[in-house]
Amino acid sequence: MTVKINTKDGQIELTDDVIATVVGGATTEIFGVVGMASKAAIKDNFQALLRKENYSKGVVVKTTESGSIVVDVYTVMSYGVKISEVSRNIQERVKFNLENQLGITAETVNVYIQNIKVVGE
């Protein structure tokens, strides 16, 4: 699925991979986030962290009838962080980056925690 933006010069189509790259980059910058996880990590029993080129496996983008998007982000967080605070930071950063970098508005950003890892021991 693509997001279409009409401009005075024509139409721009953004694929889910482009949106996933922006969302994944914004998410992994947040303190307390170890990395991105696959949305099917529990079903597939696959607990590896995703690299930049695979962020689309950890981000689900849905377009609403109103033209905005809903983003689901699947993350791995660090042990000992306040999950609600880190999740709120992810939501704010993702919405900000999507608006500033791509010019699209995210109606909702849902954060799913697939795993907790102990880091630095």
Q: Which domain holds residue 67?
A: 2-117
Cβ-based neighbour number of residue 13 at 10 Å: 9
CATH number, domain containing residue 50: 3.30.70.1350
pLDDT of 11 reads 84
* Residue 71 CB neighbours (<10 A): 24
pLDDT in tens, 63-97: 877 767 899 999 989 999 999 999 999 999 999 99
Supply the mean pLDDT for the chain. Answer: 83
What percent of the chain has a predicted confidence (pLDDT) above 70?
Answer: 83
Domain count, the chain: 1
pLDDT digits (tens, 9 = 90+) for 17-52: 888 889 988 998 999 998 888 776 555 555 666 666
Contact call for residues 61 and 71 (beta carbons, < 8 A): yes
Supply the pTM of this predicted model: 0.82
Q: What pLDDT does residue 34 have?
A: 87
